[in-house]
Structure 1
């Protein structure tokens, strides 16, 4: 049996004691594409030399969706990220409702999202899609959980990200459907996969609780994989998770969960 999906893993979270280039090379040797976070944290020459195929990276440096000042900053730094993505041949550029700082917390927390902020977010994402169209790149907006990891992030729930992306409905703007965050925030993973299917650009996974590889928590990821295949999804699935022990054992558990 083989996986019907393109499998990737987040290099930021595995082998954290090893140099980053080593991690990229090892993931490549093991047959995985690589996910990275903020490109400004890395030497671009090193990323190029690694030989990795990059599934995704953060597609902005600073900014917010829901206000004019934040939108201007988001668009400006997204344009910078586009140039880096071309240099590294990154498939997808990831966005959030607001800039994230230490431990994934919002740089500027937002407890109440107003109607005006929704309208501005939709306008901002349309302009992001324009940027994607001009340069032939794909942006994704990622859902996050508010209860554990990302309190105070606006437009974080899968309901929010799906509403924005589906209402815009452009090929250059898709969903990064993070099932770890969905499980904590909403549950009903297969139902949300089905609702989101026309707009999914990538699926990210980790088990709950603990944010470690499939098989360490409560999610039946092999069942999710079977359902995704039955729906006709055959795109990228990225393990954005810590390893409970040996990283290669964790990666094998991930591969087995998504092999059908």
Structure 2
């Protein structure tokens, strides 16, 4: 397994490129969120491996106008990914505002929305294939993101399976899955062939592993048993010192220090 950490949530007292450098200096790949708010040249100069970034600027999966906008801005995201050599571009069931709320809330997901989402994701996978990149579809939860369509891991699994492309994979977020569904080891076993990345944080505080109810060493053992060799990314706030948080994350998934 390769380990990454989210620069949006760590070393918050530093300018963003310095956050990236600090995480990379600790031996981790780096995740970012909205690339269009960043100085891409400054990020490229850090020399860090940018493992994931947001794969769109605006748009939605499940309505025709929103889907057209999502595909348009996904193309812009692919161009930014080329500048950063970022392998994976992340998506949600709908665009999220700066509070994490859906731009188009959905109380009910209709059959037509499922069909539109599958068509949109098929088009995204084709864009990814032409660019040599992978889009990942992330599950969320309705506590932090009420009104989000396709929020369950079961939903994202169904959509990724329906598209059937290696250029559309799951971003399986275990923090969200624990809140929404639980039974994490069986979920990992069910999804393993579809996973492009795994994100982790503990519940309920969304801090590093070891601060809440999830026993991440058991999940790490299951991933080793399943021969998972992809990225596990800590998308979590530090409970205290960020370097100590990164070490707790490393220990949970490797069982060792540096």
Q: TM-score, normalised by structure 1?
A: 0.97
Residues in 1 aligned to 2:130 and 2:51: alpha-carbon distance in whole angstroms? 20
Tell me the C-alpha RMSD between the 2 structures: 0.7
- Post-superposition, which runs of at least 4 consecutive aligned residues in structure 1 deviate over 2 A? none
CA distance in 2, matches of 1:78, 1:14: 26
- Deviation by residue 1:144-198 (Cα, 9 ceiling, x = unmatched): 011x211111111101000000121110000000000000000000011011011
**Aligned residue number for residue 76 of structure 1:** 72
Deviations 1:220-259 (A, max 9, x none): 0000000110011111000000000000000000000000
Alignment equivalent of 2:136, drawn from 140, 148, 171: 140
Q: How does 1:155-174 map to 2 (within 5 A)?
A: 155-174=150-169
SS of equivalent residue, structure 2 residue 151? coil
SS across alignment from 1:204 = strand
The aligned counterpart of 2:50 is 54
Question: Distance between the aligned counterparts of 1:126 and 1:8, measured in 2?
Answer: 27
Q: How far has the Cα of 1:108 moved from its partner?
A: 1.9
Q: Distance in 2 between matches of 1:88 and 1:54?
A: 7
Out of 208, 221, 232, the residue aligned to residue 226 of structure 1 is 221
Hey, what's the Cα distance between the residues in 2 that align with 1:144 and 1:14? 21
Distance 1:73 1:168 in 2: 20
Kindly indicate whether residue 199 of structure 2 is the aligned counterpart of residue 204 of structure 1: yes
Determine the structure 2 residue equivalent to 1:18: 14
Structure 2 residue 254 is the aligned partner of structure 1 residue 259:
yes
Residues in 2 aligned to 1:234 and 1:108: alpha-carbon distance in whole angstroms = 35
Instruction: Give, in whole Å, the separation in 2 of the partners of 1:107 and 1:49.
Output: 33
Q: In structure 2, which of residues 24, 29, 32 is the aligned counterpart of residue 36 of structure 1? A: 32
What SS class does the counterpart of residue 104 from structure 1 fall into? Answer: coil
Unpaired runs of 5+ residues, structure 2, are none
Cα deviation, 1:103-128, whole Å, max 9, x if unaligned, reads 21111211111000000000000000
Aligned partner of 1:128 in structure 2 is 124
Which consecutive residues of structure 1, in runs of 5 or more, have no partner in the other structure? none
- TM-score normalized with structure 2 length: 0.98
1:190 equivalent to 2:185? Answer yes
C-alpha deviation, 1:50, in angstroms: 1.3
SS at match of 1:175: strand
Show the counterpart of 1:213: 208
Number of residue pairs the alignment of both structures matches = 255
Tell me: higher relative CO, structure 1 or 2? Use CA pairs within 8 A at least 6 residues apart. Answer: 1
Structure-2 separation of matches of 1:89 and 1:160: 29
Cα distance in 1 for residues equivalent to 2:193 and 2:54: 22
